Amino acid sequence: MKIRILPSLLAADMGNLAAEARRAQAAGGDELHLDIMDGVFVPNISMGPAVVAMAHQAVSIPLNVHLMLLHPDQYIEAFAAAGAATLLIHIEAECDVPATLARIRARGIHPGITLNPGTPADRIFPVLDAVDEVLCMTVHPGHGGQSFMAEVLPKITAVRRALDARGRTGARVMVDGGIAETTAARCAAAGADSFVAGTTVYHAADMREMVSRLRQTATDAYIDR
């Protein structure tokens, strides 16, 4: 399984988002991660479809869009039109989750499911056949720069095993929150293959070097797990 590193635009210079998106691509980011927050589902407000559309024009790498929205079903078409390659919704959202995932797939976009740190892994098992990606939050969603929550590690393993048991060996397991070299290695050893990194890469002295180091560290740990 190829390791993916996804720089998170939430940690970028908000006054220069197009340039910051291009910087993530130039640094070797596999995809660009965009956090969409509504101020209701999470206690913060961030970006909307216009920022996704801007990023779609600025870079050629896929846009991985995380909808931290109470009602993500109301915004699927807007973010699809803006250029999202993947749309992740939360299992905790107030919508018909299976139907919303099906709508995402019908638009030719990769559907993904996200679960918060306090949500048991088996909550998402009924929809695993409907998704291409599972995001295990390793911090409480809503703000960047939080500390990694090691108690999520067994959940990552449980999700990976559940996917494999269903023959979904190509489905991705992604982590987001407090990802640096040490925590990336721990998550990879637990079964994660995709890593959202915000502060660690955008605030690094050399962004390209940091992306490379994260990828190598995670690759080594994933192979050895």
Q: Catalytic residue numbers? A: 35, 176
**Residues 217, 179 contacting (CB under 8 angstroms):** no
Closest CA to 160 of 185, 140, 189, 182: 189
Measured CA to CA, the distance from residue 188 to residue 220 in angstroms comes to 8
Cα–Cα distances in angstroms (integers) from residue 68 to residues 40, 89, 98, 151, 166, in the given order = 9, 7, 17, 21, 27
According to the 3-state scheme, what is the secondary structure of 130-155? Answer: HCCEEEEECCCCCCCCCCCCHHHHHH
Rg of the chain over Cα atoms, rounded to whole angstroms, equals 16
Closest CA to 205 of 216, 213, 217, 215: 213
